[in-house]
Chain A
Amino acid sequence: DVKVTQSSRYLVKRTGEKVFLECVQDMDHENMFWYRQDPGLGLRLIYFSYDVKMKEKGDIPEGYSVSREKKERFSLILESASTNQTSMYLCASSLCRKGGQGCFDTEAFFGQGTRLTVV
């Protein structure tokens, strides 16, 4: 059974703390993603990675960084947590389907999410 596992379901942190959200997938997927989900705003892409050691900014990268040292693990880092980063964070992975124009996303598998509250 395919699986994307996020390290915590619920997390409460203080303003200014450095926060690590971990995501591990066991499907040997090349592509991994971090999304933020807020009511009425849908899924917004923070960062993504199409290969080990590779990372690209998504639509809302400010205040975040990522690390992908191993293929199966993609970590999201909040350098200095702020209250406006209180949100649900979803990690996802997918296979890369190679085409003439590069890598295309296939079916994405999502983790259960981490609900982060910054106080």
Chain B
Amino acid sequence: QQPVQSPQAVILREGEDAVINCSSSKALYSVHWYRQKHGEAPIFLMILLKGGEQKGHDKISASFNEKKQQSSLYLTASQLSYSGTYFCGTGNSGNTPLVFGKGTRLSVIA
């Protein structure tokens, strides 16, 4: 069952912050985040494996609330290069593949 991402789309000005949410109706073991630019392959951003785990990379970070079965991706002081579609992928247990959400289209304008 696909995780639900929100919002579906967001437009930001450079320097603004954004939050993308990903929630699942099933218990989660892991959450993956990917970004896909137009015409390109999705690129891995980060994996969160434990409840309450937070990870960061430059000005992009994420949290994982295992109890609420959800994860959030935080983009701080957005740059033009952050534009793209962000996907979360959720893993429920071993020997089951990731299930991806429908994506959140992020557009950063000058």
A residues lining the B interface (CB < 8 Å):
4, 31, 33, 35, 40-45, 48, 50, 56, 58-59, 90, 99-113
B97 touches A48 (CB 8 A): yes
- 26 A-B pairs, CB-CB below 8 angstroms? A4-B41, A31-B97, A35-B100, A41-B102, A42-B101, A43-B103, A45-B97, A45-B100, A58-B97, A90-B41, A99-B94, A100-B94, A101-B95, A102-B95, A104-B30, A105-B91, A105-B97, A105-B98, A107-B47, A108-B42, A108-B44, A108-B89, A108-B98, A110-B42, A112-B40, A113-B41
B60: CB under 8 A from chain A?
no
Q: Which residues of A contact B102 (CB under 8 A)?
A: 40-42
Whether the Cβ atoms of A42 and B97 lie closer than 8 Å is no
Interface residues, chain B, with chain A CB atoms under 8 Å away = 2, 29-30, 32, 34, 40-44, 47, 87, 89, 91, 93-95, 97-103
Contact yes or no, A103 B41, CB < 8 A: no
How many angstroms between the C-alpha atoms of A31 and B98 in the bound complex? Answer: 11
A43 and B87 in contact, given A59-B99, A106-B47, A107-B47 (Cβ under 8 angstroms): yes
Cβ-neighbour of A90 out of B42, B98, B103 (below 8 A): B42
Give Cα A7 to B100, complex, Å: 24
- For residue B34, which residues in chain A have a CB less than 8 angstroms away from its CB? 108
In contact, B32 and A108 (Cβ under 8 angstroms): yes
Residues of A within 8 A of B100 (CB): 35, 42-45
What is the bound-complex CA distance between A42 and B100, given in angstroms?
7
Task: Evaluate contact between B41 and A101: CB separation under 8 angstroms.
Answer: no
Per CB-CB distance, the 6 closest pairs between chain A and chain B, nearest first, are: A102-B94, A101-B94, A42-B102, A102-B95, A110-B41, A43-B100
Q: Which residues of B contact A104 (CB under 8 A)?
A: 29-30, 91, 94
